[in-house]
């Protein structure tokens, strides 16, 4: 087992305090809500097969916190170029890549996402990969909904998912420009 050194910062948002963890190469490794930080660390340890995560506090590491703040201020483009580094299976990484291709303010179902992967019968696996996404918001797992259009499964809670989707729809005209 190995150790990983990450820098940590927080951001106060309209829907709670967000925690971000980045590596020394300016890549986001995890984003989650403060009230789910323990789960975030467990997920990281599992994905990277780590014995220990060493965390150093740093204000606005590499401008990442500022960029996330811009997103919450309505600049949906602020997330497009943020670098992420994730482990996980090849399947999970393919799902996470496709999540980044969903335009802000739009939603798709787990089934449509499975079809885009070329694996239409992998709906449950897509849901599991979506739930294991360590870099929420930047890898927008909140944009995936149930086949009937209902809001389903979001690690930060359905109220946050609803808020994020409404926020993106409200600022979408600015994002398209």
pLDDT at 145: 94
Q: Which residues are catalytic?
A: 141
Residue in the structure block whose two tokens are 């201020």: 73
DSSP letters of 4-69? EEEEEEEEEETTEEEEEEE-TTS-EEEEEEGGGHHHHHHHHHHHHTEEEEEEEE-SSGGGHHHHHH
Choice between 24 and 49, residue whose per-residue pLDDT is larger:
24
Q: How far apart are CA 41 and CA 36, in angstroms?
A: 9
Q: What share of the chain is helix, strand, coil (3-state, %, to 5)?
A: 45, 20, 35
Predicted pLDDT at 48: 81
Task: Read off the pTM.
Answer: 0.90
Q: Whole-angstrom distance between the N-terminal and C-terminal Cα of the chain?
A: 47
| Residue pLDDT, tens place only, 85-130 | 988 899 999 999 999 999 999 999 999 999 999 999 999 999 999 9
- 58-69 average pLDDT score: 91
All domains of the chain in start order, with CATH: 2-79 (3.30.160), 90-176 (1.10.10.10)
Indicate if the pLDDT at residue 177 is higher than 70: no
């Amino acid at each position: 087992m190995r150790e990983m050194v990450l820098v940590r910062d927080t951001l106060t948002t309209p829907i709670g305090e967000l925690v971000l963890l980045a590596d020394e190469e300016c890549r986001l490794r995890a984003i989650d809500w403060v009230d789910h930080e323990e789960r975030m660390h467990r997920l990281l340890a599992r994905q990277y097969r780590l014995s220990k995560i060493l965390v150093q506090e740093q204000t606005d590491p590499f401008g990442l916190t500022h960029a996330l703040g811009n997103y919450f201020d309505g600049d949906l483009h602020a997330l497009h170029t943020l670098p992420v580094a994730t482990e996980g299976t090849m399947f999970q990484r393919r799902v996470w890549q496709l999540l980044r291709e969903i335009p802000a303010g739009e939603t798709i179902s787990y089934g449509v996402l499975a079809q885009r992967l070329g694996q239409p019968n992998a709906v449950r696996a897509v849901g599991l990969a979506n739930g294991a996404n360590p870099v929420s918001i930047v890898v927008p797992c909140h944009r995936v909904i149930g086949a009937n259009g209902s809001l389903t499964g979001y690690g930060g809670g359905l109220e946050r998912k609803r808020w994020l989707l409404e926020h993106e729809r409200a600022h979408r005209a600015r994002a398209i420009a």
